[in-house]
């Protein structure tokens, strides 16, 4: 936590002189570029949008791997140690013991979600006392990580400050426009259809931002529009009570489709669908999965952050309209 506070002080122009010593920073000896490592692809994509090819950047957890339970594998220690800057989500997303320890022990690691919680505590959701880490599911929230990344890059690479700031401002405008367009698009779907059931509890921010009525956002009634059999991390076992709760929810709101997620087992949803069909409830799986804790393959339309969110929106629209 001291390192995060130190980083915060630097971002507002104070303290921690050791952070600004360029000479001690790991760099690629051939290119001279600083190395930036992000825990998840959604952060790495934002880094790339801001930094372009001015830095070397990559994500630690890629593909269909669950970031909630990720533990270090061979080579991860070296990648983290060699990074000039490390960005991670925080809010207890990366709670695998070995990964969490390594992130917190790095000299220049920044927990972006924790910064959001400090600056805008009213915007961060909690479930059973635990923060919901899936803040990237609301583009207007994810936009808040742009400036901290830009400022951290500028501190490590002062000559690139104008470059980073210009691209950061352009990215925020792009994200702001995307958020407004997506809100309009989803609100055009009849409100009685905007009830979402997915594999695990990753879509609360999406629901609040894009599916709820304005009054529901203010009152907290938006929560009725989303349900999932598994919690914030898809690690638990589905009990009989959990199963019945979702079955009752589907019946109450006359929901006819459930949405699997690309990197989460379908087992829980399969049990729910079978239980519904046994009671003559017409329930089916969406043929296309949603992206919750991962993005699509690199180079595909859903292989970048905004493309991932757009994919999710289109899948919902196709099933609901």
DSSP letters, 256-319, are: -EEB-BTTS-SHHHHHHHHHHHHTT---EE-SSPBPSS----TTSTTSSHHHHHHHHHHHHHHH
pLDDT of amino acid 45: 98
Task: Output the pLDDT for position 173.
Answer: 98
Is-contact 227 199, C-beta < 8 A? no
Query: Given this model, what pLDDT does residue 232 score?
Result: 67
Q: What is the pTM of this model?
A: 0.90
Q: Which CATH number fits domain 189-320: 3.40.50.410, 3.40.50.1980, 3.40.190.10, 3.40.50.300?
A: 3.40.50.1980
- Answer yes or no: same fold for 2-175 and 189-320: yes
Instruction: Going from the first residue of the chain to its last (321 residues), give the mean pLDDT of each consecutive group of 10, the final group possibly shorter.
Output: 47 36 50 93 98 97 93 97 98 96 96 98 94 98 98 97 98 98 98 95 97 96 94 68 90 96 90 90 94 94 97 98 86
Where exactly are the structural domains of the chain? 2-175, 189-320
What string of DSSP letters covers 37-95?
A: EEEEHHHHHHHHHHHTTSSEEEEEE-SS--STT----TTHHHHHHH-SEEEE--TTSS-
Topology of the domain covering 2-175: Rossmann fold (3.40.50)
């Amino acid at each position: 936590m001291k390192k995060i506070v130190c980083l915060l002080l630097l971002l507002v122009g104070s303290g921690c002189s050791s952070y600004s010593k360029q000479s001690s920073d790991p760099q690629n000896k051939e290119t001279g570029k600083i190395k930036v490592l992000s825990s998840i692809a959604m952060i790495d994509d934002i880094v790339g949008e801001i930094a372009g090819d001015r830095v070397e950047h990559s994500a630690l957890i890629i593909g269909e791997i669950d970031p909630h339970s990720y533990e270090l594998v061979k080579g991860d220690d070296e990648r983290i140690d060699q990074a000039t800057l490390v960005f991670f989500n925080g809010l207890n997303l990366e709670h695998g013991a070995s990964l969490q320890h390594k992130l917190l022990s790095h000299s220049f690691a920044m927990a972006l979600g924790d910064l959001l919680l400090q600056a805008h505590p009213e915007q961060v959701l909690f479930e059973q006392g635990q923060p919901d880490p899936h803040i990237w599911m609301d583009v207007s929230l994810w936009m808040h990580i742009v400036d901290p990344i830009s400022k951290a890059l500028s501190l490590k690479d002062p000559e690139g400050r104008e470059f980073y700031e210009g691209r950061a401002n352009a990215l925020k405008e792009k994200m702001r426009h995307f958020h407004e367009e997506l809100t309009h698009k989803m609100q055009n779907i009849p409100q009685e259809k905007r009830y979402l059931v997915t594999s695990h509890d990753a879509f609360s921010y999406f629901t609040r931002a894009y599916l709820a009525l304005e009054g529901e956002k203010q009152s907290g009634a938006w929560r009725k529009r989303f349900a999932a059999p598994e919690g914030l991390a898809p690690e638990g076992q589905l009990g009989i009570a959990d199963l019945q709760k979702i079955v009752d929810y589907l019946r109450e709101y006359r929901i006819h489709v459930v949405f699997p997620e690309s990197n989460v087992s379908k087992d829980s949803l399969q049990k729910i669908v079978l239980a519904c069909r046994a009671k003559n409830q017409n329930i089916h799986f969406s043929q296309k999965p949603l992206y919750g804790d991962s993005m699509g393959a690199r180079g595909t339309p859903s292989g970048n952050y905004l493309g991932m969110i757009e994919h999710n929106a289109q899948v919902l629209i196709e099933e609901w309209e």
